[in-house]
Amino acid sequence: MLFRLDPSANENLAAQLARQIRSAAARGELAPGTRLPAARELAESLGVNLHTVLKAYQDVRDEGLIELRRGRGAVMTDASRDVRRLREAIDAAVAVARELHVSPTTTLALVKEALQ
């Protein structure tokens, strides 16, 4: 798994990394049981502070996507399979919206309303 961070982006580095982990899970690239790189190793390869990686890992752990185990590192949970299912459902909804020529703004408003 290759992660890339953009220091010039508006999004902080930990949030960028957490987003990339979520996206990889949604695409099925990080299946349940997959081990993520050790935080120290990933920090070195990305050229960032260890705490940046730990913050990203904690964020996705709090969402239930990974389990952090002492000595074993970060491991993708079964929830990553659920995220993939959700992504497929969202892709289907977007396809219907495009077919019906519903604007992205209206589609997003409908999704936000449904979430509340």
CATH hierarchy code of domain 13-115: 1.10.10.10
- Within 10 Å of residue 84's Cβ, how many Cβ atoms? 18
Supply the Cα-derived Rg of the chain in whole angstroms.
16
Average pLDDT, whole number, for the chain? 93
Q: For position 100, what pLDDT does the model report?
A: 97
85 burial (CB, 10 Å; 0-12 / 13-18 / 19+) is exposed
Percentage of the chain exceeding pLDDT 90: 84
Integer CA distances (angstroms), 45 to 4, 37, 59, 71, in order: 10, 10, 20, 20
Distance CA(65)–CA(59), nearest Å, equals 9
Mean pLDDT for the stretch of residues 72-92: 89
Q: For position 1, what pLDDT does the model report?
A: 66
Per-residue model confidence as pLDDT tens digits over 34-69? 999 999 999 999 999 999 999 999 999 999 999 998
Examine the pLDDT at 2 and tell me if it is beyond 90: no
